[in-house]
Chains A and B, each alone.
Chain A
């Protein structure tokens, strides 16, 4: 078994007196798509925010490519190939679509490859090319999600953290975005850690999954097993 690209060891975090994560441990291997499923408020987004040190870990350790990154300032991570598409997409509303994408490549100096990657994003999401001069805030929800993913791709990530990419989107757009997530994973060798409320979709996309309940990992298994698990079907798949 190869070395995990991302590993959390007993990570705790919280907001004020509220403990949001209780000794969360998980591993993501290179090339995988791994998902974290769980109910609202289970700590899924907090897990991703703690990996990027936007929320501070109060205990435990986060390792990226074998190196501890706990406490490393969030803005150092994209250069290391770790990028997050946060919940709610967080498009820069008054930058144009193209400027939003340029911000993804903020740290990169390789002009030729940047232009190449921009073309690639425009090929993945042709609608972004059509709208490249429009302010990001004027896009529809689905287009903003595409822009958020495109912006993350502009950092040339090795590991992409995706928080609720399906949130508030029409089924057709969701299908489109998830198919692109699989493409990125397979063709560009980007490892994906996917947080989703839509457990069914998430488990169909990922090879493995973790189940988070009130801040703790209660179950981890292959997606096939989780999909077959009666408890999971009852709690998260609406049966």
Chain B
């Protein structure tokens, strides 16, 4: 029983990370019907920018809490700008082209960004300073590490914040309007180019936050760390119903939970397989996902 509860906590932690990354896929798909294959690279870029900032700030003697908050904010901002630049260079010129061209451009961008990270940061793992988040709360055999508390708290804040942004603010409503009808949104004065850039920026910011937290959680980052979590988060977005924000959050938690439970009870060797089994099963049996098509209110 205690083992189960421990796995449950681990599953929520990992699920939150997948949820944050899945949101970027689903938002971009919702607005321009593109599967942004370069999205996982913002997660990796976030992981690296995080370790660089945290190490540097810690070396300057900045207190750990401020160091974390500052690094998180700056990294999210950096990845948001990076995503905007990628969108301008690789996707915007293809706005009138076929969807396949944009998809190929995204794949190319993914390879470019990953190799860029490898060239500038090297091919070896880079260690995260983990001292700042060591320790945890113990309830019998169950441990809720400070790191997990941090991840769950940050994820919760970001998810609530995103919901508020998309469903309550004027800009969020414009995002949804643009996703639903670009011609009409132009006719009421919404500059769709700017809204699309913003969507990329927000998605990449969330992925960057996830990258930092994974770095802190596992203690290291690697230039190709965006690939597998990226595809799992994509599976989560598809599971939730691509284009649906609540669906992406739900899908993220389900994939994270399944992965942890499968690793704990079936085989940790094969844990990566389960996300893909889910992806294939969803595509085969219910291609619109849990919240696709029929549950309209929370689509972008």
Contact = CB atoms under 8 A, between A and B. Distances in A.
Contacts of A75: 185-187, 189-192
Contacts of A137: 296
B166 to A, nearest CB: 11
Interface in A98-149: 99, 102-104, 106-107, 135, 137
A51 B188 CA distance: 14
A155 B189 contact: yes
A42 interface: no
Contacts of A52: 186-187
Given A86-B187, A103-B190, A135 B297 contact: yes
A106 B180 contact: no
Interface in B171-197: 173-174, 176-177, 180-181, 183-192
A213 to B, nearest CB: 26
B75 to A, nearest CB: 31
Task: Say which size band chain B's interface belongs to.
Answer: 20 to 34
B134 interface: no
Interface in A61-120: 73-79, 83-84, 86, 90, 92-95, 99, 102-104, 106-107
A93 B170 contact: no
Contact of A106 (B176, B181, B190, B299): B190
Contacts of B173: 95, 99, 102-103
A78 B189 contact: yes
Contact of B170 (A73, A77, A102, A155): A102
A79 B186 CA distance: 11
Contact of B188 (A73, A93, A135, A155): A155
Task: Say which size band chain A's interface belongs to.
Answer: 20 to 34
Contacts of A92: 176-177, 180-181, 184-185
A151 B296 contact: no
Contact of B183 (A54, A83, A103): A54
Given A106-B170, A135-B296, A94 B180 contact: yes
Contacts of B187: 52, 54, 74-75, 77-78, 83-84, 86, 90
Given A86-B184, A103-B174, A94 B189 contact: no
Given A90-B183, A103-B173, 8 more contacts: A74-B183, A86-B183, A92-B184, A92-B185, A93-B180, A95-B176, A95-B180, A99-B173
Identify the 10 closest CB pairs spanning chains A and B, nearest first: A78-B189, A90-B184, A74-B186, A107-B189, A75-B186, A92-B180, A75-B191, A92-B177, A103-B177, A84-B187
